[in-house]
Protein backbone atom coordinates (compact mmCIF):
# COMPACT_ATOMS: atom_id res chain seq x y z
CA UNK A 1 0.00 0.00 0.00
CA UNK A 2 1.50 3.32 -1.09
CA UNK A 3 1.95 6.19 1.35
CA UNK A 4 -0.60 8.98 0.84
CA UNK A 5 0.67 12.45 0.01
CA UNK A 6 -0.20 15.50 2.09
CA UNK A 7 -2.60 16.90 -0.51
CA UNK A 8 -4.42 13.57 -0.72
CA UNK A 9 -5.03 13.24 3.02
CA UNK A 10 -8.80 13.36 3.50
CA UNK A 11 -10.11 15.98 5.88
CA UNK A 12 -13.51 15.61 7.50
CA UNK A 13 -14.77 17.84 10.24
CA UNK A 14 -15.76 15.79 13.31
CA UNK A 15 -19.47 15.68 14.07
CA UNK A 16 -19.89 16.51 17.75
CA UNK A 17 -23.06 14.48 18.20
CA UNK A 18 -21.36 11.41 16.73
CA UNK A 19 -18.31 11.93 18.96
CA UNK A 20 -20.55 12.20 22.00
CA UNK A 21 -22.31 8.98 21.03
CA UNK A 22 -19.02 7.13 20.55
CA UNK A 23 -17.77 8.30 23.94
CA UNK A 24 -21.02 7.19 25.57
CA UNK A 25 -20.60 3.75 24.01
CA UNK A 26 -16.97 3.55 25.19
CA UNK A 27 -17.99 4.54 28.71
CA UNK A 28 -20.68 1.89 28.78
CA UNK A 29 -18.30 -0.77 27.45
CA UNK A 30 -15.72 0.07 30.11
CA UNK A 31 -18.28 -0.05 32.90
CA UNK A 32 -19.49 -3.44 31.66
CA UNK A 33 -16.05 -4.93 31.01
CA UNK A 34 -15.75 -8.44 32.44
CA UNK A 35 -12.06 -9.03 31.88
CA UNK A 36 -8.69 -7.34 31.61
CA UNK A 37 -8.76 -7.90 27.86
CA UNK A 38 -12.15 -6.21 27.53
CA UNK A 39 -11.02 -3.12 29.45
CA UNK A 40 -7.76 -2.81 27.50
CA UNK A 41 -9.66 -3.15 24.21
CA UNK A 42 -11.94 -0.25 25.16
CA UNK A 43 -8.96 1.99 25.93
CA UNK A 44 -7.32 1.02 22.64
CA UNK A 45 -10.49 1.98 20.76
CA UNK A 46 -10.58 5.32 22.61
CA UNK A 47 -6.99 6.00 21.61
CA UNK A 48 -7.80 5.26 17.96
CA UNK A 49 -10.73 7.68 18.14
CA UNK A 50 -8.60 10.41 19.73
CA UNK A 51 -5.85 9.91 17.17
CA UNK A 52 -8.35 10.38 14.35
CA UNK A 53 -9.79 13.55 15.85
CA UNK A 54 -6.35 15.04 16.51
CA UNK A 55 -5.30 14.22 12.94
CA UNK A 56 -8.25 16.19 11.60
CA UNK A 57 -7.34 19.04 13.93
CA UNK A 58 -3.73 19.02 12.72
CA UNK A 59 -4.87 19.13 9.10
CA UNK A 60 -7.13 22.09 9.85
CA UNK A 61 -4.31 23.91 11.65
CA UNK A 62 -1.85 23.38 8.79
CA UNK A 63 -4.35 24.48 6.15
CA UNK A 64 -5.04 27.66 8.12
CA UNK A 65 -1.40 28.57 8.75
CA UNK A 66 -0.60 28.00 5.09
CA UNK A 67 -3.00 30.82 4.22
CA UNK A 68 -4.61 32.72 7.08
CA UNK A 69 -7.02 34.55 4.76
CA UNK A 70 -8.38 31.41 3.08
CA UNK A 71 -12.07 31.44 3.98
CA UNK A 72 -12.59 27.66 4.09
CA UNK A 73 -9.43 27.04 6.10
CA UNK A 74 -10.36 29.83 8.49
CA UNK A 75 -13.79 28.27 9.02
CA UNK A 76 -12.26 24.94 9.97
CA UNK A 77 -9.77 26.61 12.30
CA UNK A 78 -12.71 28.44 13.86
CA UNK A 79 -14.57 25.17 14.33
CA UNK A 80 -11.77 23.76 16.46
CA UNK A 81 -11.35 27.01 18.35
CA UNK A 82 -15.05 27.03 19.21
CA UNK A 83 -15.55 23.31 19.75
CA UNK A 84 -12.18 22.09 20.96
CA UNK A 85 -13.26 22.55 24.59
CA UNK A 86 -16.34 20.38 24.00
CA UNK A 87 -14.18 17.67 22.46
CA UNK A 88 -11.83 17.94 25.44
CA UNK A 89 -14.80 17.60 27.77
CA UNK A 90 -15.71 14.25 26.22
CA UNK A 91 -12.13 13.00 26.51
CA UNK A 92 -11.70 14.16 30.10
CA UNK A 93 -14.97 12.50 31.14
CA UNK A 94 -13.77 9.20 29.71
CA UNK A 95 -10.31 9.66 31.22
CA UNK A 96 -11.95 9.94 34.62
CA UNK A 97 -13.77 6.69 33.93
CA UNK A 98 -10.41 5.04 33.32
CA UNK A 99 -8.93 6.52 36.50
CA UNK A 100 -11.89 5.17 38.52
CA UNK A 101 -12.03 1.80 36.77
CA UNK A 102 -11.39 -1.42 38.70
CA UNK A 103 -9.18 -2.32 35.73
CA UNK A 104 -6.91 0.66 36.32
CA UNK A 105 -4.02 -1.62 37.26
CA UNK A 106 -4.02 -3.62 34.06
CA UNK A 107 -4.49 -0.44 32.03
CA UNK A 108 -1.39 1.00 33.71
CA UNK A 109 0.50 -2.24 33.09
CA UNK A 110 -0.49 -2.19 29.41
CA UNK A 111 -0.01 1.48 28.58
CA UNK A 112 2.36 2.62 31.32
CA UNK A 113 1.83 4.43 34.61
CA UNK A 114 2.75 7.70 32.87
CA UNK A 115 -0.35 7.29 30.71
CA UNK A 116 -2.53 7.45 33.82
CA UNK A 117 -0.49 10.33 35.22
CA UNK A 118 -1.12 12.27 32.02
CA UNK A 119 -4.85 11.52 32.22
CA UNK A 120 -4.95 12.56 35.88
CA UNK A 121 -3.20 15.86 35.15
CA UNK A 122 -5.51 16.51 32.23
CA UNK A 123 -8.48 16.01 34.58
CA UNK A 124 -7.02 18.62 36.94
CA UNK A 125 -6.74 21.24 34.22
CA UNK A 126 -10.18 20.95 32.66
CA UNK A 127 -13.75 21.36 33.83
CA UNK A 128 -16.79 22.33 31.76
CA UNK A 129 -16.83 25.61 33.69
CA UNK A 130 -13.82 26.89 31.73
CA UNK A 131 -15.08 26.08 28.23
CA UNK A 132 -16.08 29.67 27.57
CA UNK A 133 -12.59 30.83 28.53
CA UNK A 134 -10.92 28.27 26.27
CA UNK A 135 -13.01 29.39 23.31
CA UNK A 136 -12.14 33.01 23.95
CA UNK A 137 -8.45 32.17 24.40
CA UNK A 138 -8.34 30.45 21.01
CA UNK A 139 -10.08 33.43 19.43
CA UNK A 140 -7.51 35.85 20.84
CA UNK A 141 -4.58 33.69 19.73
CA UNK A 142 -6.08 33.49 16.26
CA UNK A 143 -6.37 37.30 16.15
CA UNK A 144 -2.70 37.63 17.07
CA UNK A 145 -1.71 35.10 14.41
CA UNK A 146 -3.74 36.83 11.73
CA UNK A 147 -2.38 40.24 12.68
CA UNK A 148 1.27 39.21 12.50
CA UNK A 149 0.81 37.03 9.41
CA UNK A 150 -0.77 39.89 7.47
CA UNK A 151 1.99 42.41 8.27
CA UNK A 152 2.99 44.54 5.27
CA UNK A 153 6.25 46.35 6.02
CA UNK A 154 7.54 48.98 3.61
CA UNK A 155 11.30 49.41 3.24
CA UNK A 156 12.94 51.24 0.34
CA UNK A 157 9.85 51.03 -1.83
CA UNK A 158 9.49 47.26 -1.35
CA UNK A 159 6.95 45.41 0.79
CA UNK A 160 7.96 42.62 3.16
CA UNK A 161 6.27 40.41 5.72
CA UNK A 162 7.74 39.45 9.08
CA UNK A 163 9.53 36.49 7.49
CA UNK A 164 10.90 37.96 4.27
CA UNK A 165 12.20 41.11 5.99
CA UNK A 166 14.70 38.85 7.77
CA UNK A 167 17.32 39.23 5.05
CA UNK A 168 17.29 43.03 5.42
CA UNK A 169 17.92 42.71 9.14
CA UNK A 170 21.39 41.32 8.33
CA UNK A 171 22.19 43.52 5.34
CA UNK A 172 25.83 44.60 5.19
CA UNK A 173 24.78 48.22 4.83
CA UNK A 174 24.05 49.54 8.30
CA UNK A 175 21.58 52.15 7.05
CA UNK A 176 19.56 49.37 5.40
CA UNK A 177 19.59 47.34 8.61
CA UNK A 178 18.48 50.38 10.59
CA UNK A 179 15.71 51.20 8.13
CA UNK A 180 14.47 47.60 8.20
CA UNK A 181 14.50 47.44 12.01
CA UNK A 182 12.74 50.79 12.31
CA UNK A 183 10.04 49.70 9.85
CA UNK A 184 9.64 46.33 11.56
CA UNK A 185 9.36 47.83 15.04
CA UNK A 186 7.04 50.53 13.71
CA UNK A 187 4.61 47.67 13.13
CA UNK A 188 4.54 47.18 16.91
CA UNK A 189 3.94 50.88 17.44
CA UNK A 190 1.20 51.04 14.81
CA UNK A 191 -0.60 48.05 16.33
CA UNK A 192 0.26 48.70 19.98
CA UNK A 193 -3.33 49.15 21.08
CA UNK A 194 -4.48 45.92 19.45
CA UNK A 195 -1.46 43.91 20.63
CA UNK A 196 -1.84 45.22 24.18
CA UNK A 197 -5.56 44.52 24.22
CA UNK A 198 -5.17 40.94 22.95
CA UNK A 199 -2.52 40.12 25.51
CA UNK A 200 -4.28 41.86 28.38
CA UNK A 201 -7.36 39.76 27.75
CA UNK A 202 -5.26 36.60 27.48
CA UNK A 203 -3.56 37.17 30.83
CA UNK A 204 -6.79 37.93 32.64
CA UNK A 205 -8.70 34.96 31.24
CA UNK A 206 -5.79 32.59 31.92
CA UNK A 207 -5.67 33.77 35.51
CA UNK A 208 -9.44 33.30 35.79
CA UNK A 209 -9.16 29.83 34.24
CA UNK A 210 -6.65 28.79 36.91
CA UNK A 211 -8.76 30.31 39.67
CA UNK A 212 -11.90 28.47 38.57
CA UNK A 213 -9.99 25.19 38.74
CA UNK A 214 -8.59 25.87 42.20
CA UNK A 215 -5.01 26.78 41.30
CA UNK A 216 -3.45 29.73 43.17
CA UNK A 217 -1.90 31.07 39.96
CA UNK A 218 -1.90 30.36 36.26
CA UNK A 219 1.77 29.43 36.56
CA UNK A 220 0.98 26.40 38.71
CA UNK A 221 -1.90 25.48 36.45
CA UNK A 222 0.30 25.66 33.36
CA UNK A 223 3.09 23.52 34.82
CA UNK A 224 0.54 20.75 35.41
CA UNK A 225 -1.10 21.26 32.01
CA UNK A 226 2.30 21.19 30.33
CA UNK A 227 3.10 17.81 31.85
CA UNK A 228 6.08 18.87 33.96
CA UNK A 229 5.91 16.01 36.41
CA UNK A 230 9.57 15.77 37.44
CA UNK A 231 10.56 19.40 38.04
CA UNK A 232 8.91 22.64 39.10
CA UNK A 233 9.27 26.43 38.98
CA UNK A 234 11.93 26.37 41.70
CA UNK A 235 14.13 24.12 39.54
CA UNK A 236 13.64 26.51 36.64
CA UNK A 237 14.57 29.56 38.71
CA UNK A 238 17.76 27.85 39.82
CA UNK A 239 18.55 27.15 36.17
CA UNK A 240 17.92 30.80 35.28
CA UNK A 241 20.17 31.86 38.15
CA UNK A 242 22.97 29.74 36.65
CA UNK A 243 22.42 31.46 33.32
CA UNK A 244 22.63 34.86 34.96
CA UNK A 245 25.81 33.89 36.79
CA UNK A 246 27.69 31.87 34.19
CA UNK A 247 26.24 32.60 30.75
CA UNK A 248 25.36 36.31 30.71
CA UNK A 249 28.98 37.43 31.39
CA UNK A 250 30.27 35.00 28.78
CA UNK A 251 27.73 36.11 26.18
CA UNK A 252 28.57 39.75 26.95
CA UNK A 253 32.12 38.89 25.85
CA UNK A 254 30.73 37.40 22.63
CA UNK A 255 28.80 40.59 21.95
CA UNK A 256 31.92 42.67 22.58
CA UNK A 257 33.85 40.52 20.10
CA UNK A 258 31.00 40.92 17.60
CA UNK A 259 31.25 44.70 17.92
CA UNK A 260 34.98 44.52 17.10
CA UNK A 261 34.41 42.14 14.17
CA UNK A 262 31.90 44.58 12.69
CA UNK A 263 34.15 47.57 13.35
CA UNK A 264 31.51 49.42 15.37
CA UNK A 265 31.82 51.83 18.25
CA UNK A 266 28.42 50.75 19.60
CA UNK A 267 26.53 47.53 18.88
CA UNK A 268 22.84 48.41 18.60
CA UNK A 269 19.81 46.20 18.24
CA UNK A 270 20.04 46.77 14.48
CA UNK A 271 23.46 45.06 14.50
CA UNK A 272 22.73 42.07 16.74
CA UNK A 273 21.77 39.66 13.97
CA UNK A 274 24.80 40.41 11.78
CA UNK A 275 27.80 38.43 12.97
CA UNK A 276 30.42 39.09 10.27
CA UNK A 277 31.48 42.22 8.43
CA UNK A 278 31.30 40.38 5.10
CA UNK A 279 27.90 38.89 5.95
CA UNK A 280 26.45 35.92 7.78
CA UNK A 281 26.86 32.51 6.16
CA UNK A 282 24.02 31.90 3.72
CA UNK A 283 23.15 28.77 1.80
CA UNK A 284 24.27 29.19 -1.78
CA UNK A 285 21.01 28.11 -3.40
CA UNK A 286 17.24 28.45 -3.37
CA UNK A 287 14.56 26.26 -1.79
CA UNK A 288 14.87 23.37 -4.25
CA UNK A 289 18.67 23.42 -4.04
CA UNK A 290 18.55 23.28 -0.24
CA UNK A 291 16.05 20.42 -0.18
CA UNK A 292 18.09 18.45 -2.71
CA UNK A 293 21.18 18.72 -0.50
CA UNK A 294 19.20 17.96 2.62
CA UNK A 295 18.12 14.75 0.90
CA UNK A 296 21.75 13.77 0.41
CA UNK A 297 22.60 14.74 4.00
CA UNK A 298 19.90 12.59 5.54
CA UNK A 299 20.63 9.68 3.21
CA UNK A 300 24.23 9.67 4.48
CA UNK A 301 23.56 10.41 8.16
CA UNK A 302 21.96 7.00 8.81
CA UNK A 303 19.66 4.42 7.33
CA UNK A 304 16.91 5.61 9.66
CA UNK A 305 17.17 9.25 8.59
CA UNK A 306 17.36 8.23 4.93
CA UNK A 307 14.06 6.35 5.22
CA UNK A 308 12.49 9.26 7.07
CA UNK A 309 13.52 12.03 4.68
CA UNK A 310 12.62 10.04 1.60
CA UNK A 311 9.12 9.79 3.06
CA UNK A 312 9.02 13.56 3.64
CA UNK A 313 9.84 14.09 -0.02
CA UNK A 314 7.62 11.39 -1.48
CA UNK A 315 4.58 12.42 0.53
CA UNK A 316 5.15 16.19 0.14
CA UNK A 317 5.32 16.73 3.89
CA UNK A 318 7.19 20.05 3.93
CA UNK A 319 6.00 23.61 3.28
CA UNK A 320 9.13 25.76 3.50
CA UNK A 321 8.64 28.71 1.14
CA UNK A 322 7.62 32.09 2.53
CA UNK A 323 4.45 33.64 1.08
CA UNK A 324 2.14 36.49 1.81
CA UNK A 325 -0.61 35.55 4.29
CA UNK A 326 1.32 32.51 5.44
CA UNK A 327 1.68 32.37 9.23
CA UNK A 328 5.07 33.39 10.56
CA UNK A 329 7.63 31.07 12.12
CA UNK A 330 8.15 27.36 11.82
CA UNK A 331 6.73 24.27 13.46
CA UNK A 332 6.35 20.54 13.12
CA UNK A 333 3.11 18.65 13.59
CA UNK A 334 1.93 15.17 12.69
CA UNK A 335 -1.04 13.42 11.14
CA UNK A 336 -0.94 10.55 13.56
CA UNK A 337 -3.61 8.39 11.94
CA UNK A 338 -1.23 8.02 9.01
CA UNK A 339 2.05 8.08 10.95
CA UNK A 340 3.13 11.15 8.99
CA UNK A 341 4.95 14.21 10.34
CA UNK A 342 4.75 17.62 8.65
CA UNK A 343 7.23 20.52 8.59
CA UNK A 344 6.13 24.14 8.23
CA UNK A 345 8.69 26.96 7.85
CA UNK A 346 9.42 30.25 6.10
CA UNK A 347 12.69 30.31 4.17
CA UNK A 348 13.99 33.87 3.83
CA UNK A 349 17.49 33.44 2.34
CA UNK A 350 19.30 33.73 5.68
CA UNK A 351 21.34 31.28 7.72
CA UNK A 352 18.11 30.44 9.51
CA UNK A 353 16.87 28.49 6.48
CA UNK A 354 19.27 25.64 7.24
CA UNK A 355 18.82 25.94 10.99
CA UNK A 356 15.03 25.78 10.79
CA UNK A 357 15.13 22.87 8.35
CA UNK A 358 17.39 20.74 10.55
CA UNK A 359 15.54 21.87 13.69
CA UNK A 360 12.08 20.93 12.45
CA UNK A 361 13.45 17.78 10.83
CA UNK A 362 14.60 16.73 14.30
CA UNK A 363 11.04 17.06 15.56
CA UNK A 364 9.67 15.25 12.51
CA UNK A 365 12.19 12.42 12.80
CA UNK A 366 11.22 11.83 16.42
CA UNK A 367 7.51 11.86 15.51
CA UNK A 368 8.20 9.37 12.74
CA UNK A 369 10.14 7.08 15.08
CA UNK A 370 7.34 7.27 17.69
CA UNK A 371 4.48 6.79 15.26
CA UNK A 372 3.68 3.22 16.37
CA UNK A 373 3.43 3.81 20.12
CA UNK A 374 -0.41 3.83 19.81
CA UNK A 375 -0.94 6.13 22.79
CA UNK A 376 -1.57 9.78 21.80
CA UNK A 377 0.30 11.00 24.88
CA UNK A 378 3.39 9.11 23.70
CA UNK A 379 3.62 10.39 20.13
CA UNK A 380 5.40 13.47 21.49
CA UNK A 381 7.21 13.97 24.79
CA UNK A 382 6.83 17.15 26.79
CA UNK A 383 8.18 20.28 25.14
CA UNK A 384 11.64 20.47 26.71
CA UNK A 385 12.35 16.89 25.65
CA UNK A 386 10.95 17.55 22.15
CA UNK A 387 13.42 20.38 21.73
CA UNK A 388 16.36 18.06 22.43
CA UNK A 389 15.42 16.21 19.24
CA UNK A 390 15.29 19.42 17.21
CA UNK A 391 18.35 21.17 18.61
CA UNK A 392 20.28 17.91 18.78
CA UNK A 393 19.62 17.34 15.07
CA UNK A 394 21.01 20.79 14.30
CA UNK A 395 24.37 19.73 15.75
CA UNK A 396 24.40 16.12 14.56
CA UNK A 397 24.19 17.35 10.95
CA UNK A 398 27.33 19.51 11.25
CA UNK A 399 29.48 17.20 9.05
CA UNK A 400 27.18 17.96 6.11
CA UNK A 401 27.04 21.74 6.43
CA UNK A 402 29.60 22.08 3.65
CA UNK A 403 26.85 20.93 1.26
CA UNK A 404 24.99 24.15 1.99
CA UNK A 405 27.71 26.63 2.90
CA UNK A 406 30.78 25.53 0.95
CA UNK A 407 33.68 27.85 1.78
CA UNK A 408 31.53 29.46 4.48
CA UNK A 409 31.21 26.23 6.47
CA UNK A 410 33.65 27.24 9.21
CA UNK A 411 31.88 30.55 9.47
CA UNK A 412 28.58 28.70 9.87
CA UNK A 413 29.90 26.46 12.63
CA UNK A 414 31.10 29.49 14.58
CA UNK A 415 27.78 31.23 13.93
CA UNK A 416 25.73 28.23 14.99
CA UNK A 417 27.61 27.29 18.15
CA UNK A 418 27.87 30.90 19.24
CA UNK A 419 24.16 31.27 18.52
CA UNK A 420 23.39 28.43 20.94
CA UNK A 421 25.19 30.37 23.68
CA UNK A 422 23.62 33.69 22.71
CA UNK A 423 20.18 32.14 22.92
CA UNK A 424 20.37 30.96 26.52
CA UNK A 425 20.03 34.42 28.18
CA UNK A 426 17.21 35.40 25.82
CA UNK A 427 15.36 32.14 26.43
CA UNK A 428 15.59 32.69 30.17
CA UNK A 429 14.50 36.33 29.81
CA UNK A 430 11.32 35.19 28.07
CA UNK A 431 10.64 32.58 30.74
CA UNK A 432 11.37 34.92 33.66
CA UNK A 433 9.12 37.53 32.04
CA UNK A 434 6.26 35.04 31.80
CA UNK A 435 6.63 34.08 35.45
CA UNK A 436 6.42 37.79 36.28
CA UNK A 437 3.36 38.28 34.05
CA UNK A 438 1.27 35.57 35.68
CA UNK A 439 2.40 36.51 39.17
CA UNK A 440 1.04 39.99 38.38
CA UNK A 441 -2.11 39.34 36.34
CA UNK A 442 -3.56 42.82 36.99
CA UNK A 443 -0.49 44.66 35.66
CA UNK A 444 -1.07 47.25 32.97
CA UNK A 445 0.46 46.98 29.49
CA UNK A 446 2.92 49.72 30.44
CA UNK A 447 3.96 47.80 33.55
CA UNK A 448 4.50 44.66 31.46
CA UNK A 449 6.69 46.57 29.04
CA UNK A 450 8.67 47.98 31.96
CA UNK A 451 9.12 44.45 33.29
CA UNK A 452 10.43 43.33 29.91
CA UNK A 453 12.94 46.17 29.91
CA UNK A 454 14.13 44.93 33.30
CA UNK A 455 14.55 41.44 31.81
CA UNK A 456 16.66 42.93 29.02
CA UNK A 457 18.83 44.78 31.53
CA UNK A 458 19.31 41.54 33.48
CA UNK A 459 19.77 38.99 30.69
CA UNK A 460 20.73 41.15 27.67
CA UNK A 461 22.74 43.96 29.29
CA UNK A 462 24.55 44.79 26.05
CA UNK A 463 21.36 45.82 24.23
CA UNK A 464 21.35 49.37 22.87
CA UNK A 465 18.06 50.52 21.39
CA UNK A 466 18.28 54.30 21.06
CA UNK A 467 16.15 55.57 18.21
CA UNK A 468 13.72 52.65 18.13
CA UNK A 469 10.64 53.79 20.09
CA UNK A 470 8.96 50.38 20.34
CA UNK A 471 12.20 48.86 21.64
CA UNK A 472 12.76 51.69 24.09
CA UNK A 473 9.20 51.19 25.35
CA UNK A 474 9.88 47.49 25.96
CA UNK A 475 7.73 46.04 23.19
CA UNK A 476 10.10 43.62 21.45
CA UNK A 477 8.55 40.67 23.31
CA UNK A 478 5.37 41.17 21.29
CA UNK A 479 7.05 39.54 18.30
CA UNK A 480 7.63 36.39 20.38
CA UNK A 481 4.63 34.32 19.39
CA UNK A 482 5.11 31.80 22.19
CA UNK A 483 4.32 34.46 24.80
CA UNK A 484 0.90 35.00 23.26
CA UNK A 485 0.03 31.50 22.08
CA UNK A 486 2.02 29.02 24.19
CA UNK A 487 2.69 30.47 27.64
CA UNK A 488 5.69 29.00 29.47
CA UNK A 489 6.83 27.23 26.32
CA UNK A 490 10.27 28.82 26.11
CA UNK A 491 12.46 27.67 28.95
CA UNK A 492 12.12 24.35 27.15
CA UNK A 493 14.48 25.62 24.46
CA UNK A 494 17.10 26.64 27.02
CA UNK A 495 16.91 23.30 28.87
CA UNK A 496 17.06 21.42 25.58
CA UNK A 497 19.93 23.54 24.31
CA UNK A 498 21.94 22.47 27.36
CA UNK A 499 21.34 18.85 26.32
CA UNK A 500 21.92 19.52 22.60
CA UNK A 501 25.30 21.06 23.39
CA UNK A 502 26.16 17.81 25.14
CA UNK A 503 25.32 15.95 21.93
CA UNK A 504 27.56 18.35 20.01
CA UNK A 505 30.45 17.74 22.40
CA UNK A 506 29.83 13.99 22.36
CA UNK A 507 29.67 13.81 18.57
CA UNK A 508 33.01 15.60 18.30
CA UNK A 509 34.68 12.57 19.91
CA UNK A 510 32.31 9.67 19.13
CA UNK A 511 29.68 10.44 16.52
CA UNK A 512 28.41 6.85 16.35
CA UNK A 513 27.68 6.68 20.08
CA UNK A 514 26.13 10.15 20.09
CA UNK A 515 23.73 9.27 17.26
CA UNK A 516 22.86 5.93 18.87
CA UNK A 517 21.86 7.81 22.02
CA UNK A 518 19.88 10.31 19.96
CA UNK A 519 18.04 7.52 18.14
CA UNK A 520 17.21 5.91 21.48
CA UNK A 521 15.55 9.05 22.89
CA UNK A 522 13.62 9.52 19.64
CA UNK A 523 12.25 5.99 19.96
CA UNK A 524 11.20 6.64 23.56
CA UNK A 525 8.84 9.37 22.33
CA UNK A 526 6.70 10.60 25.19
CA UNK A 527 6.58 7.31 27.07
CA UNK A 528 8.87 8.77 29.76
CA UNK A 529 9.04 12.19 31.43
CA UNK A 530 11.81 14.68 30.66
CA UNK A 531 14.47 13.72 33.19
CA UNK A 532 14.02 10.01 32.45
CA UNK A 533 14.51 10.70 28.75
CA UNK A 534 17.69 12.61 29.56
CA UNK A 535 18.86 9.61 31.59
CA UNK A 536 17.99 7.13 28.83
CA UNK A 537 20.18 9.16 26.49
CA UNK A 538 23.10 9.12 28.90
CA UNK A 539 22.98 12.92 29.18
CA UNK A 540 23.40 15.08 32.27
CA UNK A 541 20.31 16.86 33.59
CA UNK A 542 20.39 20.63 33.01
CA UNK A 543 19.29 20.98 36.65
CA UNK A 544 22.33 19.11 37.95
CA UNK A 545 24.82 21.40 39.63
CA UNK A 546 27.62 22.37 37.28
CA UNK A 547 26.05 20.94 34.11
CA UNK A 548 25.28 24.28 32.47
CA UNK A 549 28.51 25.91 33.61
CA UNK A 550 30.61 23.05 32.29
CA UNK A 551 29.04 22.80 28.85
CA UNK A 552 28.91 26.54 28.10
CA UNK A 553 32.48 27.09 29.27
CA UNK A 554 33.64 24.15 27.16
CA UNK A 555 31.78 25.62 24.15
CA UNK A 556 33.27 29.06 24.67
CA UNK A 557 36.75 27.59 25.03
CA UNK A 558 36.25 25.55 21.83
CA UNK A 559 35.26 28.70 19.95
CA UNK A 560 38.34 30.51 21.24
CA UNK A 561 40.68 27.69 20.26
CA UNK A 562 39.19 27.15 16.80
CA UNK A 563 38.25 30.71 15.90
CA UNK A 564 40.61 33.00 17.83
CA UNK A 565 40.30 35.90 15.39
CA UNK A 566 36.49 35.93 15.69
CA UNK A 567 36.76 36.30 19.47
CA UNK A 568 39.45 38.98 19.36
CA UNK A 569 38.48 41.97 21.48
CA UNK A 570 36.19 39.96 23.75
Query: What does the pLDDT look like over 328-372, one tens digit per residue?
Result: 889 999 999 999 999 999 998 889 999 999 999 999 999 999 999
What lies within 8 Å, CB to CB, of 482 at 6+ separation is 430, 489, 490
Instruction: Provide the 10 A C-beta neighbour count for residue 101.
Output: 17
Average pLDDT over residues 82-105: 96
Percent of the chain with pLDDT over 90: 95
Instruction: Provide the 10 A C-beta neighbour count for residue 534.
Output: 26
In-domain check, residue 105: yes
Spatial separation of the C-alpha atoms in residues 568 and 559, rounded to whole Å: 11
Spatial separation of the C-alpha atoms in residues 300 and 303, rounded to whole Å: 8
Is pLDDT above 70 for 167? yes
332 beta partners: 343
In-domain check, residue 375: no
- Does residue 35 sit in helix, strand or coil? coil
What is the residue-averaged pLDDT of the chain? 96
8 A C-beta contact, residue 537 and residue 493:
no
In-domain check, residue 407: no
Spatial separation of the C-alpha atoms in residues 504 and 395, rounded to whole Å: 5
Spatial separation of the C-alpha atoms in residues 191 and 184, rounded to whole Å: 11
**How many structural domains are present in the chain?**
1
pLDDT tens-digit series, residues 552-567: 999 999 999 999 999 9
Instruction: Provide the 10 A C-beta neighbour count for residue 393.
Output: 26
Is pLDDT above 90 for 233? yes
Q: Which of 23-27, 295-299, 306-310, 463-467 has the lowest mean pLDDT?
A: 463-467
Average pLDDT over residues 530-540: 98
Average pLDDT over residues 377-405: 97
**Residue 381: what pLDDT?**
96
Q: Which of 429, 539, 553, 535 has the alpha carbon at shortest distance from 491?
A: 429
Percent of the chain with pLDDT over 70: 99
- At 344, give phi and psi (nearest 5°): -120, 130
**Residue 1: what pLDDT?**
59
In a 10 Å sphere around its CB, with 0-12 CB exposed, 13-18 middle and 19+ buried, how is residue 304 labelled?
Answer: middle
In-domain check, residue 58: yes
Is pLDDT above 80 for 2? no
Spatial separation of the C-alpha atoms in residues 396 and 305, rounded to whole Å: 12
Is pLDDT above 70 for 80? yes
Is pLDDT above 80 for 570? no
Alpha helices, DSSP H only, in 34-70? 36-66
279 conformational bin, left if phi > 0, alpha if psi -120 to 50, beta if neither: left
pLDDT tens-digit series, residues 425-471: 999 999 999 999 999 999 999 999 999 999 999 999 999 988 999 99
In-domain check, residue 45: yes
- Does residue 526 sit in helix, strand or coil? coil
In-domain check, residue 61: yes
In-domain check, residue 117: yes
Secondary structure element (H or E) that encloses residue 345, with its range: strand 340-347
Domain that holds residue 104: 6-137
pLDDT tens-digit series, residues 19-72: 999 999 999 999 999 999 999 999 999 999 999 999 999 999 999 999 999 999
In-domain check, residue 35: yes
Is pLDDT above 70 for 226? yes
Average pLDDT over residues 280-299: 96
Length of the chain: 570
Q: Which of 476, 499, 437, 503 has the alpha carbon at shortest distance from 268?
A: 476
Amino acid sequence: MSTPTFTSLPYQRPVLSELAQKHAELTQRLSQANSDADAVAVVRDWNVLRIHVSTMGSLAEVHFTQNVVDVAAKEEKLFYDLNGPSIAELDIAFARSILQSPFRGVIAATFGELFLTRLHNASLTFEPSIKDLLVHESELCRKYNELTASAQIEVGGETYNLSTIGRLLIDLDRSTREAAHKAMYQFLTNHATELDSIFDELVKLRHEKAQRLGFPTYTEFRYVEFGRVDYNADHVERFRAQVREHVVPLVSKLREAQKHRLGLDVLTIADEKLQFKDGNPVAAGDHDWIVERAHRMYSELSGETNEFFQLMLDADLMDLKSRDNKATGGYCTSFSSYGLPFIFANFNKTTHDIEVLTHEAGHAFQAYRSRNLQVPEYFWPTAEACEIHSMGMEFLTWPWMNLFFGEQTDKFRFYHLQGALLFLPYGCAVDHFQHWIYANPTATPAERNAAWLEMERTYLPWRSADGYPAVEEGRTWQFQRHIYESPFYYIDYALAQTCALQYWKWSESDRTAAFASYLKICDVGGSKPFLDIVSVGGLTSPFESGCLKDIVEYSYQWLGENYPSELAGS
